[in-house]
Amino acid sequence: MNRPTSTPGSPLRTVGLLFLAGLLVVALPAFAQVIEVTSVVPSQTEQGTIGVVVTIGGAGFDRGSKVAFYVTGSTNPGGIVVKSVKYKNTKTLEATIDVASDAQTQFKFDVQVMSNGRTGKGTELFKVIEKVTGGDITPPGTITDLRVVAGAVGYNTAMIEWTAPANDGFLAGSGSATQYDIRVRKDAPECGGPFTMAVWVDSSWTGPHADPCHAFVSWPAAGAPGTTESRLVDSLAPDTWYWAAVRARDDSPQGANWSLLPDPSQQLHFMTGPAPSTYWTTSIVDACPVTVTNCSMWWPRLAFDGNGNPALLYNKTLATWTGGTWPTEGSWQFEIAPAGEGGNGAFDLAFDPITGEPAIASYVPALSATMFYRRTSGAWQRETVATGFVRSLEFGFAPPTVTDGAVPTVAYTYEKGKSTYLKVAQKVGTSWITDTVASGVTGGALARVHLAFDADSDPAVAFIQDYSGGRRLVLASRKGATWTVDPLPDAPAVFQPNTLSFAELAFNPARGTFSVVGQHLGPNYFVSQLRYCEGNVGSWSCLPEPLFQWDGRWQAGLSLAAGDEGSVYVGTAYERTLVVLARDPATLSWVTEFVDWNANSGPQDLHVGPGGRPTIVYRGLHDSTGAGGSDGNGSEVIAQRPPQ
């Protein structure tokens, strides 16, 4: 029997147990240690490279380890063939690879090590670049200092900035990079975190739209190396976290070199603020699904049916609210309209005030004619108003008088050759009677017609007229059988010269005057100004300063309405924000009211509905879930507020 031996004054030595313990240590199975893959050197090579040796760093490697290269996020080898693997030690392998002449260059590669049933993978560790025979092969520097400008985060925008890289890395002497690819995506559970190359895809519209979490993309030119670059990011949602990243490209004749995508720890992570408070209640009428690309919704037109419910005409769809007070009762009823499809937006909707039935006037390109459609006893009746090309159109019913019923009235631009004419057609009895009201000055164009009726149910039309190299607001109004064409006073110097882009018209029954609003556009699509005038033929009062001015990127869209009690409402958009400027009928003072954080540029339609409730319809960028930032897709949105 063996007994432990000891030396006086020394610890007891259990030699047999230590020996067995040593055997246990030696016999530990290899699979107990996890394989890690942390680095490769070199990290990239050209297409067509044969026999390149790649040193793979990590932990847990064994003799006999196998190595594979896969396009990130897939099991596709992407043109890389592993010829042999040499074991150096538990932390180092050397893999000899051949790279095909057409190997994948769009994405990075994951590197996977397999040994004794264990697998370890390092993601986005290797890249293949295009084969070049000379010239520039160095990409711009990777942008890792992306940041938010202090105090410049709003509820749907953020100003971001970064240091400009050079054409070659950050070497100033190599000149400037040529272009940036700026992207922002939502940080939500379904989005999976920051940008990866698999999400980035490429710099075309395919990439952003392939990512349903995408919110913003822009490709501006790059500035001088070392300078501070900035960009206003829009199409964001309130109280939402986002990831942002920027890449730069150069102008290599062999094809652009792109800077690397910043590591997730170097991407910008930020949150927007809360939306302003508002009196307006907003609801999405119809929207593209978040997974659908290139789904557009345009040209919403608003009217109220015989029961005072709102109705929209857009994209050949007629949507009517049924069942009760919007938005707490009832639902939207959709039907295919007989006309009103996209095109140039020359269509409009109105309800007959006597029958309460809908009617549509629309230019139909296939017929090269303006058509009138009226629903009677559930069926649509069609008739021709006029033939010839039309670019702008508005339609309404002249309010019934003591002697006449409601008269269908269409105002439109008629173009023939290089000449443009303003025409107004009214249905009298069974015939359409058309007046030629105005024409372009010395061959100039007419644009943006808008129709209203005065207290005597006589029609009036506001439009933009080219003249003497400039543009002006004009009102044409009829009394009896006589039309008077009255250019509004020239805009003072404070307004951008000769840049009118939109005009709107409304009649104010409480004041017995017309309101006209024009939108001026500044140089290079920056600065938008609204000019407000009120009066009648030959007697105009115009605000000497812009009613509204935005010094950022221009947003197209303008709308105007007046209430029976004398209030005036003007809708406009800037940086995806829709606002309505409201004038108090007693004090004539204006206030700006926030409506929506995600309104796209484009046509709006604003009316004061039954009970004095101002109502506006417009195109938003919301998807069917109510989320914003789905560029290329859209929604038809309606907003109402209580009367003043």
Residues 112 and 157 grouped into a single domain: no
pLDDT digits (tens, 9 = 90+) for 249-284: 998 877 788 999 999 999 999 999 999 999 999 999
Same domain, 109 and 41: yes
Same domain for 190 and 106: no
- Listed residue (487, 449, 451) closest to 470, CA to CA: 487
Q: Does some domain include residue 11? A: no
Integer Cα distance of 14 and 305 in angstroms = 99
Claim to verify: residue 186 and residue 256 sit in the same structural domain: yes
Q: Is residue 48 part of a domain?
A: yes
Reduced to 3 states (helix: H, G, I; strand: E, B; else coil), residue 172 is: helix
Q: Are residues 171 and 261 in the same domain?
A: yes
* 3-state secondary structure string across 182-244: EEEEECCHHHCCCCCHHHHCCCCCHHHHHCCCEEEEECCECCCCCCEEEEEECCCCCCCEEEE
* Conformation bin of residue 348: beta by default, left when phi > 0, alpha when psi is -120 to 50: beta
pLDDT (tens digit per residue) in 73-91: 899 999 999 999 999 999 9
Q: Phi and psi (nearest 5°) for 199?
A: -80, -40
**Count of the separate structural domains present in the chain:** 2
**Do 142 and 262 meet the contact criterion of CB atoms below 8 Å apart?**
yes
Judgement on whether residues 194 and 79 belong to the same structural domain of the protein: no
Name residue 90's beta-bridge partners.
none
What number of other Cβ atoms are within 10 A of residue 53's Cβ? 13
| Residue 287 pLDDT | 85
Integer Cα distance of 503 and 462 in angstroms: 7
Identify the burial level of 304 via C-beta atoms within 10 angstroms of its C-beta, where 0-12 means exposed, 13-18 middle and 19 or more buried. buried
Q: What is the pLDDT of residue 184?
A: 92
Do 235 and 164 reside in the same domain of the chain? yes
Give the C-alpha separation, 208 to 198, whole Å. Answer: 11
**Among 248, 271, 294, where does a domain finish?**
271
165 part of a folded domain = yes
Domain boundary among 271, 296, 318: 271
630 in Cβ contact with 311 (< 8 Å): no
If one counts every other C-beta atom within 10 angstroms of the C-beta of residue 82, the result is 16
For residue 214, the model assigns a pLDDT of 81
Would you call 35 exposed, middle or buried from its count of C-beta atoms within 10 A (0-12, 13-18, 19+)?
buried
**610: three-class secondary structure by DSSP:** helix
Quick count: other Cβ atoms within 10 Å of Cβ 288?
A: 20
Instruction: Enter the pTM of the model.
Output: 0.74
**Distance between CA 601 and CA 571 in Å, rounded?**
12
Q: Do 70 and 185 lie in a common domain?
A: no
Q: Which residues of the chain have pLDDT under 70?
A: 1-32, 132-135, 201-211, 290-294, 341-343, 402-403, 442-443, 497-498, 555, 624-625, 627-633
Cβ atoms of 82 and 40 within 8 Å: the answer is no
Asked if residue 327 has a cis previous peptide bond (ω within 30° of 0), the answer is: yes
Structure-token match 């016999």, residue found: 27
| 104/48 same-domain check | yes
The domain boundary, picked from 236, 252, 271, lies at 271
Task: Give the whole-angstrom CA distance, residue 224 versus residue 166.
Answer: 7
Beta strands in 1-60 (DSSP E): 36-41, 44-46, 52-59
Question: What is the Rg, in whole angstroms, of the alpha carbon atoms belonging to the chain?
Answer: 34
CA distance 426 to 422: 14
Closest CA to 342 of 637, 602, 23: 602
- Is there a contact between 287 and 630 (Cβ–Cβ < 8 Å)? no
Residue 66 lies in a domain: yes
Cβ neighbours around 597 below 10 Å, total? 28
Q: DSSP letters of 401-457? A: -SS---EEEEEEEEEETTEEEEEEEEEETTEEEEEEEEE-GGG--EEEEEEEE-TTS
159 and 64 co-located in one domain: no
CATH number of the domain enclosing 184 = 2.60.40.10
Strands 118-129 and 44-46: parallel
pLDDT value of residue 293: 60
d(CA 197, CA 228): 25
Tell me, yes or no, whether 152 and 123 share the same domain: no
The Cα 413–Cα 344 span in angstroms is: 12
> Structure tokens of 494?
């404070």
- How many Cα atoms within 13 Å fall on the side-chain side of residue 483? 17
The first and second tokens of residue 609, run together, are 């509905």
Residues 6+ apart with CB under 8 A from 20: none
DSSP string over 253-292? TTS--BPPPPPGGGSEEEE--PPPP-S-EEEEEEE--TT-
Please indicate, yes or no, if residue 408 is contained in any of the structural domains. no
Q: How far is it, in rounded angstroms, from Cα 132 to Cα 255?
A: 9
Cα gap 404→399, rounded to integer Å: 9
Question: Does any domain span residue 89?
Answer: yes
Residue 189, amino acid: P
Domain of residue 78: give its range.
Answer: 35-129
Q: Is 49 within the bounds of a domain?
A: yes
DSSP code at position 58: E
Helix H or strand E encompassing 506: strand 500-508
In this structure, are 151 and 261 located in the same domain?
yes
